[in-house]
Amino acid sequence: MKITVLGCGALGQLWLSTLYQQGHDVQGWIRIPQPFCAVNVISPEGIAFNRNMTTNDPEHLAQSELLLVTLKAWQVSGAVSTLMPMLNDNCAILLLHNGMGTVDELPANRLAILQGATTHAARHEGNSIVHVATGATHIGPVTPRGAALSSLADTLHNALPDVAWHDNIKPSLWNKLAVNCVINPLTALYNCTNGDLLAYADQIEQISQEVAQVMAIEGVEIHRDSLLSFVYQVIESTSANHSSMLQDIRNQRHTEIDYITGYLLRRGRKFGLTLPINTRLFEQIKRKENDYERVSS
Ligand code: KPL
């Protein structure tokens, strides 16, 4: 399959390396064009993949059957809108990022758009990407034309298992949003690993309860206790991780808070819910972000 991976960060390099090893014709696409990007990935078993891979070839992009988007949520609409006119009618777009709401920011289009949530964890270590934790990726359609693309899950599964297809992806996206609403802001505020959050049971429960309220109105029925046990399951399975938001705050980068807690609050507001616990977390993270963004601008 001809594929362009938009974004060559940790997750992007992971997909580039695994898709290439499955024999797919892949290239990367980066903001500042270069003919090649170095893809250096170390698997959980310690096996290294090192290769210079083609980037930003417009002909490859025009012929691509899949645009796999691994950018941060806040980069998605700008980058994807710019590339859309260069894609062919049969190219599917798969968005793989934390949070929700980016699809609503894309211009009206004719393309098949899919969204996914993944629990694979990869991080930069020196010049390499270390695939620290294997996980699962859930994908499904967010535009009507995406509904016919269930075979894509098998293709991706062969490269980086597990990948599961869902005709209705909304529950998977909301479950992952709930996890991110709990883990990301709390780890960023307490400057701790995901596992250290076990000491903050009350806050975890209050955040999850507000998320469950919005999920119920969104038609994603989940019992409060089931959501809470899912959140704890992810905290335990990623206990040694430094969440992406903690890494963003430590490196003074823009965070995904607008698409995680921010999205939750926007959806809640639409239904007249005020969500005080999540509102406070949102404001605390925005304050941290504004402190360094003001200094650097
Ligand atoms: O998605 C994550 C993130 O860090 O952004 C979790 C699941 C919380 C793992 O760290």
pLDDT of 159-214, one tens digit each? 999 999 999 999 999 999 999 999 999 999 999 999 999 999 999 999 999 999 99
Instruction: Indicate whether this complex's ipTM tops 0.95.
Output: yes
295 pLDDT exceeds 80? no
Using left for φ > 0, alpha for ψ between -120 and 50, and beta otherwise, residue 160 falls in beta
| CB-ligand 1 contact for 183 (6 Å cutoff) | yes
CA dist., res. 205 & res. 215, Å (int):
15
* Residue 178 near ligand 1, beta carbon < 6 Å: no
Among candidate residues 280, 210, 276, 255, the one with its CA nearest the CA of residue 99:
255
Best residue among 11, 14, 98 to mutate for probing ligand 1, ranked by most atoms within 8 Å of CB: 98
Provide the pLDDT confidence category of residue 125 given band limits of 50, 70 and 90.
Answer: very high
Residue of 2, 72, 176, 288 marked active site? 176
Residue among 123, 192, 194, 237 whose CB has most ligand 1 atoms within 8 A, to mutate: 194
- For residue 147, is pLDDT > 80? yes
What is the average pLDDT score of the chain? Answer: 96
Residue 121's pLDDT is 86
Residue count (the chain)? 297
Residue 16 has a CB neighbour count (10 Å cut-off) of: 30
Q: How far apart are CA 8 and CA 277, in angstroms?
A: 35
Quickly state the pLDDT bin for 119 (edges 50, 70, 90): confident
Residue 72 annotated in active site: no
Helix (H) or strand (E) holding 26: strand 25-29
Q: Is 180 helix (H, G, I), strand (E, B) or coil?
A: helix
Distance CA 279, CA 183 (A): 15
pLDDT at 222: 87
User: Residue 22's Cα: distance from chain center in Å?
Assistant: 23
Query: How far apart are the C-alpha atoms of 142 and 167, rounded to whole Å?
Result: 9
* Closest residue CA from atom 9 of ligand 1: 243
89-107 tens-digit pLDDT: 999 999 999 999 999 999 9
Q: In DSSP terms, which residues pair with 124 in a beta bridge?
A: 129
Q: Measured between alpha carbons, how far is residue 279 from residues 96, 263, 274 in Å?
A: 25, 11, 8
Percent of the chain with pLDDT over 70: 99
Q: What is the share, in percent, of the chain residues with pLDDT greater than 90?
A: 90
pLDDT at 1: 98
Q: Is ligand 1 within 6 A of the CB of residue 238?
A: yes
Question: In the predicted model, what is the mean pLDDT of residues 47-69?
Answer: 98
The Cα–Cα gap between 102 and 259 comes to 8
Q: Is the pLDDT of residue 244 over 70?
A: yes
Average pLDDT estimate for 238-257: 94
pLDDT, one tens digit per residue, over 263-284 is 999 999 999 999 999 999 999 9
Residue 93's DSSP bridge partners are 67, 113
- Model confidence at 36: pLDDT above 70: yes
Contact 257, 286 (CB under 8 A): yes
Q: Is the pLDDT of residue 45 over 90?
A: yes
Which helix or strand (DSSP H or E) is residue 73 part of? helix 73-83
Which is nearest to 247 in space by CA: 124, 63, 132, 88?
124
The whole-number pLDDT of residue 296 equals 67
Q: What spacing in Å lies between the alpha carbon of 260 and ligand 1's midpoint?
A: 11
Would you place residue 297 in the very low, low, confident or very high pLDDT band (cuts 50, 70, 90)? low
